[in-house]
């Protein structure tokens, strides 16, 4: 190949595959030059080092193979990033009964779904996952005060399954004040929850009880004291303070 043709060939290299083709052509040209330079009729005026030629061949081979290897690596990463996990979620309550209508979500994607007969499937793009592959899946049925979650490590299996046990939140309490119709605090009134805890009001008429209920769950508060009519009042757990008014007994008698 003439020098001008070789320069023209270099100018036409504009893609990964043409780089590889150029590298192959360059290797063949150098090999041909090496053979011609070492033949019996070869000129000895400008001897070419065989080591130098082979080193050049190695460099050109690396230059030609590097774009192909890089493209393969990037293509693999692209395909992995575009992969989607489809996780089957089974939601059960405290009695191991399938929970329908539970809202399912994850810690990494914005997709949500709802269980039917305790079963649901949610998609998680691999590209949205953290490096360690750990994802938390949540299931909630707020109307029944049921909540649960579990952690899963996603790897090669694109269709894994997880089991989530939903439990009632029973950590919330109720608080408030017992007073008379004029707004004066009633000290020593017995405040209780049917079948639950009880306490007596302080000097300021205040009380606080563990309701053993979920936040927002309606509980019945019972208050009584001698000389007053007892009262029952419904109130959501973990809400603002309840105000319970006790009427003196003589006011209710005509």
**Integer Cα distance of 248 and 149 in angstroms:** 50
Place domain 84-168 in its CATH homologous superfamily: Carboxypeptidase-like, regulatory domain (2.60.40.1120)
In this structure, the strands spanning 146-153 and 167-168 are: antiparallel
Residue 211 has φ and ψ, to the nearest 5°, of -85, -10
Decide whether 84-168 matches 172-252 in CATH topology: yes
**Integer Cα distance of 50 and 208 in angstroms:** 93
Q: Which residues contact 23 (CB under 8 A, 6 or more apart)?
A: 60, 61, 63, 64, 65
Q: What is the CATH number of domain 172-252?
A: 2.60.40.1120
221 strand-pairing partners: 233
Q: Would you say how long the chain is, in residues? A: 254
For the chain, give every domain's residue range: 3-82, 84-168, 172-252
135-162 per-position pLDDT tens digit: 999 999 988 899 999 999 998 899 999 9
- pLDDT at position 229, please? 95
Which portions of the chain are predicted below pLDDT 70? 1-82, 251-254
In this structure, the strands spanning 190-192 and 198-200 are: antiparallel
- pLDDT at position 156, please? 86
- pLDDT at position 215, please? 87
**Integer Cα distance of 185 and 187 in angstroms:** 6
**Integer Cα distance of 146 and 99 in angstroms:** 9
CA angle 112, 114, 117 (to 5 degrees): 155
């Amino acid at each position: 190949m003439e020098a001008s043709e070789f320069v023209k060939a270099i100018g036409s290299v504009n893609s990964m595959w043409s780089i590889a083709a150029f590298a192959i052509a360059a290797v063949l040209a150098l090999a041909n030059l090496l053979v011609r330079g070492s033949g019996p009729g070869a000129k000895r005026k400008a001897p070419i080092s065989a080591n130098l030629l082979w080193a050049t061949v190695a460099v050109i081979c690396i230059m030609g193979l590097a774009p192909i290897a890089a493209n393969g690596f990037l293509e693999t990463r692209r395909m992995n990033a575009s992969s989607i996990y489809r996780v089957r979620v089974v939601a059960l309550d405290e009695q191991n009964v399938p929970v329908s209508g539970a809202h399912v979500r994850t810690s990494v994607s914005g997709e949500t779904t709802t269980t039917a007969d305790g079963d649901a499937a949610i998609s998680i793009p691999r590209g949205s996952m953290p490096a360690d592959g750990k994802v938390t899946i949540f299931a909630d049925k707020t109307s029944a005060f049921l909540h649960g979650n579990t952690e899963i490590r996603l790897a090669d299996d694109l269709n894994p399954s997880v089991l989530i046990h939903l439990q009632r939140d029973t950590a919330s309490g109720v608080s408030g004040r017992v007073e008379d119709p004029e707004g004066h605090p009633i000290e020593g009134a017995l405040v209780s929850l049917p079948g639950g805890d009880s306490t007596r009001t302080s000097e300021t008429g205040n009380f606080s009880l563990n309701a053993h209920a979920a936040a927002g769950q309606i509980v019945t508060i019972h208050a009584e004291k001698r000389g007053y009519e007892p009262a029952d009042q419904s109130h959501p757990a973990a809400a603002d303070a309840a105000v319970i008014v006790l009427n003196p007994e003589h006011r209710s008698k005509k």
